[in-house]
Amino acid sequence: MTDVQTVFLVDDDQGMRDSLTLILELAGYPVLSFPSPAAFLAAFSPGARGCLVLDQRMPDMTGLDLQRELLERGARLPIIFLSAFGDIPTTVHAIQNGAIDFLEKPASTEQLLQRIEDAFAEDRRRREEAATEHDILERFRQLTPREHEVLTLTTCGLTNKDIARQLGISPRTVENHRARMMEKMGAGNLAELCRMSAVCQSSATRPNGSGN
C-alpha cells in the first residue's frame, strides 16, 4: 500500500464498488477497492494513509468485525461506514469505536466527499499525534531504572524528600536524578511531565502494547 492518502473501499457488491470508485476517482481521489474484509486485510499495511469506506453486512466478516480487527492491530485508519443496513445499535457501536460516520446507502455524492475530506483530515491529525507519541516513548526508553522510579513518584505528587525516603537515598541524589530525567524527557515543568507520563501509560495499556 502507498503513503499517498487513499480511499480504501470494502464492499461485496461489485456494482457498488465500481460506481463508488468512478465517483471518487472523478473527484480526484486515489482508490483501492476490495470485495471482502479478508481481501483488504491481506493487502493491509499499518502505514496505510487515507480512510476506509466500509460496508457493514458482508459474508464471513461484517464491517464491525473488520473495524474490531483493525483496532486490535493498532491501526489508525479512519473509517466511514456506508451501508443499507444500519440500525441504531450498530451505528452507535461503530461511532463509539472511532468511526467518522455511519452513512446510509445511497448517500449523496456531496455528503460522501465531505466525509472523506473529514476522514483525511482526521488521518493527518492521528498521524501527527502518533509521531509526537513516538518521540515521547523514545525519550522514556532512554531513562535509567532509577530515573523511571523518580518519574513515577514525581508524577504521583511526591516531593523530593518523600521520594528520598521511599527509595532510601538522599534528597540531593533525588534532585540529580530528577534533573537528568526532566532533561531527557524534554519536560519544562511538572505539568508537561505529567502529560508525557500519561502518554506512556496509555501506550502500555493498549492491546498491542505499543504506540504504533
Task: Tell me the pLDDT tens digit for each residue of 20-41.
Answer: 999 999 999 999 999 999 999 9
Is 182 a domain residue?
yes
113 and 148 inside one domain = no
Mean pLDDT over each residue of the chain, to the nearest integer = 89
pLDDT for the residue 205:
64
The pLDDT value given to residue 211: 44
Does 32 share its domain with 124?
yes
Q: Is residue 106 located within the same domain as residue 200?
A: no
pTM of the model: 0.72
Closest by CA position to 187, among listed 177, 199, 195: 195
The answer to whether residue 14 is domain-embedded is yes
Do residue 23 and residue 114 come from a single domain?
yes
Residue 135 placed within a domain: no
Please report, for the domain that includes residue 198, its CATH number: 1.10.10.10
Query: Tens digit of pLDDT for each residue in 150-174?
Result: 999 999 989 999 999 999 999 999 9
Give me the sheet containing 101-104, strands edge to edge.
31-34, 6-10, 50-54, 79-83, 101-104
Among 128, 162, 177, the domain-final residue is 128
Q: Is residue 43 part of a domain?
A: yes
Whether residues 96 and 160 share a domain: the answer is: no
Task: Give the whole-angstrom CA distance, residue 59 versus residue 45.
Answer: 23
87: containing domain? 6-128
Q: How many domains does the chain have?
A: 2
User: Does position 210 have pLDDT exceeding 50, yes or no?
Assistant: no
Are 113 and 173 found together in one domain? no
DSSP bridge partners of 103: 82
Domain with residue 114: its CATH number is 3.40.50.2300
Which region holds residue 32: left if phi is over 0, alpha if psi is between -120 and 50, else beta?
beta
212 inside domain: no
User: Looking at the structure, do residues 148 and 117 belong to the same domain, yes or no?
Assistant: no
| Residues 118 and 92: beta-carbon distance below 8 Å | no
d(CA 9, CA 31): 7
Q: Is residue 134 part of a domain?
A: no
